[in-house]
Amino acid sequence: MKKFEEKKFNIPALKGISAKTMEEHLKLYAGYVKNLNIIQEILENQDTPEYARREACRRQGFEFGGMRNHEYYFSHFLGGPKLLSPDSPLYEKIVEWTGSFGSFLEIFKNLATTRGIGWAMLGYDKRTDTLIQYWVDEQHLGHLPDVSPILVLDMWEHSFVADYQPSGKKNYIEDFFANLNWQTVEDNFKKAK
């Protein structure tokens, strides 16, 4: 059985998001990887009772989503903040979609304030050559088939409450964008195309 491996992220000091919050957040990510490997063992064991196999399958999407969503999220901080060039294909696609980069930011930040736990995402649909924003509940409910995530913002409380308190959600969103290395988003877009 091939095991999933926890990726290591060398995240620099961030504006507003403390090193302690990031340390705890990375531990949660490690838990998703560990739990996903346990699920794989259950599914590959021929002696696993059928009811346990079904439960493992049901749980697999949550753990897998938790692992992958966090890998996208943490990668956005690598290398420190970097703006998106107005000459880049992603910038041009965003302007084509929303009319201006500022409009996109407003739309996406509004999505991120959705009540409840989950993820604000921007994805690319290769079939229609379209950017799509969407919300993923928990870790797995709402992923769109064939849409590749390119920008992923964690809106679970563990990502911001310790530093911002519940009322500081909007400040966390602003700081996320202040810390964002847009090159990682551009790279995801290129891979998705």
What is the predicted pLDDT for the residue at 97?
Answer: 95
d(CA 22, CA 36): 21
pLDDT per residue over 106-150, tens digit each? 999 999 999 989 999 999 999 999 999 999 998 887 788 889 999
Selection from 118, 39, 37, 32 nearest residue 67 by Cα: 32
Give pLDDT, residue 2: 85
- Locus of tokens 């959705």: 114
The pLDDT of residue 174 is 97
130: alpha, beta or left? (left if phi > 0; alpha if psi -120 to 50)? beta
Question: Helical H runs in the chain?
Answer: 19-44, 50-75, 89-98, 101-112, 161-164, 169-179, 182-192
pLDDT above 70 covers what percent of the chain? 99
- Spell out the residues 6+ positions from residue 192 whose beta carbon is closer than 8 angstroms to its own: 123, 124, 126, 148, 150
Interaxial angle between packed helices 101-112 and 169-179, expressed in degrees from 0 to 180 and rounded to the nearest 10: 140
Residue of 167, 178, 154, 130 lying closest to 21 (CA atoms): 154
- Beta-carbon contacts of 174 under 8 Å, excluding residues fewer than 6 positions away, are 109
46 falls in which pLDDT band (50, 70, 90)? confident
What pLDDT digit, counting tens, does each position of 47-93 carry?
Answer: 889 988 899 989 999 999 999 999 999 999 999 999 999 999 999 99
Backbone angles phi, psi at 7, to 5 degrees: -80, 150
Say if residue 26 is exposed, middle or buried (CB neighbours under 10 Å; 0-12, 13-18, 19+). Answer: middle
Check whether 1 has a pLDDT greater than 80: no
